Amino acid sequence: MLDAYSAVVTSVAERLTPSVMNVELRNTVGRRTGTGSAFAFSSDGLAVTSAHVVDEAGGGVATLADGRAFDFDVVGSDPLSDLAALRLAADDLLPVALGNADQLRVGQLVVAIGSPLGFAGTVTAGVVSALGRSLPTRQGKNVRLVENVIQTDAALHPGNSGGALADSGGRVVGVNTAVVGAPIGQGLGLAVPINRITRQIISSLITEGRNRRAYLGVAGGIRPLPPRMAEKLGRSEGVEVIEVVPGSPAELAGLVPEDIVVSVDGDIIHSAGDLQASMTSSRIRHQVELEIIRNGALQRVTVVPSELN
């Protein structure tokens, strides 16, 4: 007989283990350059992993828990979200069910499945120990924070990166990406959340091979709204512009430090992550209306974002 906790973990493991794989990266001469985990995204050979797992490799070999091995190519990689898509030479994969990390709560049970140290189908369990963490990522000169990263105490080890983090219903809510070590903490792991934004990124990687982003050209942080404005807008914070990049779309539109951005095309902006997430490919070279607070008054500014290179 299994207790309730064991029954949940066992159920999730049985459901997801066939979908999770070990990936071995190889260079152009067939030499192994790295290893990690991935999970099946569609039955016709698409899989998802972490961008830092594939790095600059073009392909490799993916091995399922049942021992089957398939060659794969890297379809697309986005270091700024630490997500990548693979195409396996397979047509009968068992895809995972995707959940929504935005609905997670601290203390909720999660199960991590991957292939740490090359051992396929390894299962660990724990809880969501924190939400709203930020993970710094870099691509060339561009630095970005992946927002709302999931922190968990489910044990992660080298090789877990790219594997699945699932809720108690067996729905994948995150892509395991990093292990937090000393002096910050021991036994903690981070996962890129699966939500509306990252689903869009994965879709772009599959269809276009990359994820295009609009570029505004500001650095900012959360700032409480003046009491009168907070009462008028029905919310307590926005994003203060701290720096405007010279020659950027933001400068051309007239944004200046100390402006507080409260909405983009009517969508409420609470944090720098919200502002960052709003810069989707659909807004590249299109007019975007920002609602800002300047000198205590509401104003509207029209900006035309360029594409982030």
Catalytic residue of the set 19, 77, 129, 161: 161
Query: How many angstroms separate the Cα of 64 from the Cα of each of 39, 90, 166, 192, 256?
Result: 9, 11, 18, 22, 53
Top-confidence residue, 165 or 309 = 165
pLDDT of 293 strictly over 90: yes
Query: Does 261 lie in the same domain as 236?
Result: yes
pLDDT of 184 strictly over 50: no
Nearest to 36 by CA among 20, 18, 19: 20
Whether 286 sits among the annotated catalytic residues: the reply is no
Backbone angles phi, psi at 266, to 5 degrees: 90, -10
Nearest to 270 by CA among 308, 228, 234: 234
Residue 202 in domain: no
Which pLDDT value is given to residue 188? 81
Query: Does 169 lie in the same domain as 237?
Result: no
Give the tens place of pLDDT for each residue, 204-247.
999 999 999 999 999 888 899 999 999 999 989 999 999 999 99
Give the tens place of pLDDT for each residue, 95-142.
999 999 989 999 999 999 998 766 667 899 999 999 877 777 776 666
The domain spanning residue 103 has which CATH number? 2.40.10.10
Residue 54 in domain: yes
Query: Does 166 lie in the same domain as 129?
Result: yes
Please state the rounded mean pLDDT for residues 69-98.
94
Which pLDDT value is given to residue 183? 44
Which residue, 88, 107, 137, sits at the end of a domain?
88
- pLDDT averaged over every residue in the chain: 89
Query: 309: pLDDT confidence band, cut at 50, 70 and 90?
Result: confident
Query: Does 104 lie in the same domain as 67?
Result: no
**CA–CA dist 73, 46 (Å, integer):** 10
Catalytic residue of the set 37, 50, 52, 259: 52
Residue 204 in domain: no
Residue 76 in domain: yes
Query: Does 112 lie in the same domain as 176?
Result: yes
pLDDT of 187 strictly over 70: no
Residue 203 in domain: no
- Give the total number of structural domains in the chain: 3
Query: Does 286 lie in the same domain as 245?
Result: yes
Are 110 and 154 a contacting pair, CB within 8 Å? Answer: yes
Query: Does 238 lie in the same domain as 158?
Result: no
The domain spanning residue 278 has which CATH number? 2.30.42.10
**CA–CA dist 240, 59 (Å, integer):** 43
Query: Does 303 lie in the same domain as 236?
Result: yes
Which residue, 62, 88, 114, sits at the end of a domain?
88
Least-confidence region, from 72-86, 138-152, 160-174, 202-216:
138-152
Residue 187 in domain: yes
pLDDT of 274 strictly over 50: yes
* Contacts of 259 by beta carbon, 8 Å cutoff, 6+ apart: 240, 241, 292, 293, 294, 301
Catalytic residue of the set 50, 77, 78, 82: 82
Residue 200 in domain: no
Domain holding 101, by residue range, is 97-195
Whether 78 sits among the annotated catalytic residues: the reply is no
Please state the rounded mean pLDDT for residues 171-195.
79
Whether 161 sits among the annotated catalytic residues: the reply is yes
Residue 201 in domain: no
Q: Could you tell me the two tokens for 88?
A: 């396996």
Which residue, 53, 88, 123, sits at the end of a domain?
88
